Structure formats: structure tokens, C-alpha cells
Amino acid sequence: MKKYLGLGALLALSALIAVPALAGKDDKKAEAAKSEPAKAEPAKGDAAKAPEKKADDSKPCVGPDGKPCAPECCAGAPTAALAQMQATAGNKVKGTVKFVEGADGKVTVTAELEGLNPGQQHAFHVHEFGDCSAPDGASAGGHYNPGGHDHGLPEKAPQRHAGDLGNLTADKDGKAKYTVVVDNLTVGKKFAVIGRSVIVHAKTDDGGQPTGNAGGRVACGLIGVAKP
Ligand code: CU
Ligand code: ZN
């Protein structure tokens, strides 16, 4: 709100400074501007606009200070991210994980990996820190959990760690393609994945507490900004 008021004041001020001679015309402009909202009020678009505003409220934009701010402050936020997965010590898993945020605010996560255990399910999470420096991937921290929820699987627990992306299944050649759509993360707004990391585990995420009994970390990848 303050931004809108500020902008309005700025426009009014610049109009006064720039064209004092056209004060009469400005008055007419002001009258026209006044009449516009009156015309807009009876329009039927209100019902259609309401859900849009609701979606904004559920995922407010976040400014550099980490606090929610007006929607325009995240107008330039990235909507696509990419993690290049690197094997941890003693493993050979590699590949890519993409995150694409749609206009509906949902994020589609697509993983393409190789070097996995043939035929096995591997747990797949966003972890808190963008740090894959430790040989075993421990530097990435725990599951990203901004909501303070228990661990869970996407298909069973709508309220779970935001980083809980389920399991990907390796084929007989140790390759996996996996896509999951989630609504509790964003790419670059509130609960952003950029700056964190993706971890693939040795074992299956069974949904148990605290982190799904998924074993060691076989691959880690920093999540960075990608071409949209
Ligand atoms: Cu994990
Ligand atoms: Zn978890």
C-alpha cells in the first residue's frame, strides 16, 4: 500500500514540477482519473480477480530482508532453477534436477539421473543449505522444512517438510526420470529452492520419522538460477 501511495505522490509531484503551465489540463486529467474507478466498480471482473489475489496472499513475496512485501517486489524473481548433481565420495550418481514454477505457483520438479542402483527406489529431497562440500554431502544439512512439519511423502502427506520430494525409481540400467509437482515450494520467492541443494539417497524414503530412513547421500547438487 505504501508503495502505491508513494508512487502516486511521486507522479503528482513530478506533474506539478514539470508542467505548471498546463495546470488546467492537469485538472481535467485528475477529473478523468477520478471518474475511472467509478466506471470500473460495476465491472464484472471482481469475481475473477479474487482467487488471483488469494494465491498471492498464500505465497507472499519476500524482500531482501526476508520479510513479506508487496507483489511487485518479487516481479523479477526467477521462475526456473537447475541443480547439477554430483556424486558423493564412493558413488557415481550424476544428472540434473530442474525446478519450474508455473503461473499457478506450483513447482514442477524434473530429475534425470544415472549411476543409481538398478531397480531401486532412491529418496529425493531438497536440503536446507546450498553446500555440497562435504565428501558425504552432510554439509547440505537436513531436509528443508520452513513450515516446521514432520517428514512425509508427497503422495501421503500434504503437510510435510517442503523438501520432501518422494522417491525416484532407477531402471535396470541405473537411470531414472522422475517428475513431481509440489505447491509448498517456490523457485525464487517465499520458501525458495534457489541457494539450497538437492540430495539423492542410497535407500528408499519410507515416510518414517524423522527423515524417511533413506540412508546415506549418494549425490548432491547446488540449486541455482536457470534459463526460464
Ligand atoms: Cu534427503
Ligand atoms: Zn523430510
Q: For residue 138, give the CATH number of its domain.
A: 2.60.40.200
Q: How far apart are CA 121 and CA 124, in angstroms?
A: 9
Is residue 18 one of the residues assigned to a domain? no
pTM metric for this prediction: 0.71
Residue 161 known to be catalytic: yes
Q: How far apart are CA 214 and CA 228, in angstroms?
A: 32
pLDDT tens for the chain, 228 residues: list them: 444 444 444 444 344 444 444 344 444 444 444 444 444 444 444 444 434 433 344 566 666 566 677 766 677 889 999 999 999 999 999 999 999 999 888 999 999 999 999 999 999 999 999 999 999 999 999 999 999 999 999 999 999 999 999 999 999 999 999 999 999 999 998 899 999 999 999 999 999 999 999 999 999 999 999 988
pLDDT at 228: 82
Is residue 13 one of the residues assigned to a domain? no
pLDDT at 51: 41
Q: How many domains does the chain have?
A: 1
Residue 217 known to be catalytic: yes
In contact, 52 and 59? CB cutoff 8 Å: no
Beta bridge partners of 178: 111
- Active-site residue identified among 143, 160, 196, 205: 143
User: 111: how many CB neighbours lie within 10 A of its CB?
Assistant: 22
- For residue 162, give the ligand nearest its CA: 2
Length of the chain: 228
pLDDT at 91: 98
Beta bridge partners of 84: 96
CA of 66 to the centre of ligand 2 (A): 23
pLDDT at 66: 61
Measuring CA to CA, how many Å separate 174 from each of 92, 97, 167, 184?
A: 10, 16, 14, 29
Is residue 206 one of the residues assigned to a domain? yes
- Active-site residue identified among 56, 136, 149, 161: 161
Residue 151 known to be catalytic: yes
- For residue 127, give the ligand nearest its CA: 1
Residue 164 known to be catalytic: yes
- For residue 126, give the ligand nearest its CA: 1
Domain that holds residue 122: 61-225
pLDDT at 6: 46
Place of cell 508455473: 102
Through-space distance between the first and last CA atoms of the chain, rounded to whole angstroms = 30
Q: How far apart are CA 211 and CA 196, in angstroms?
A: 17
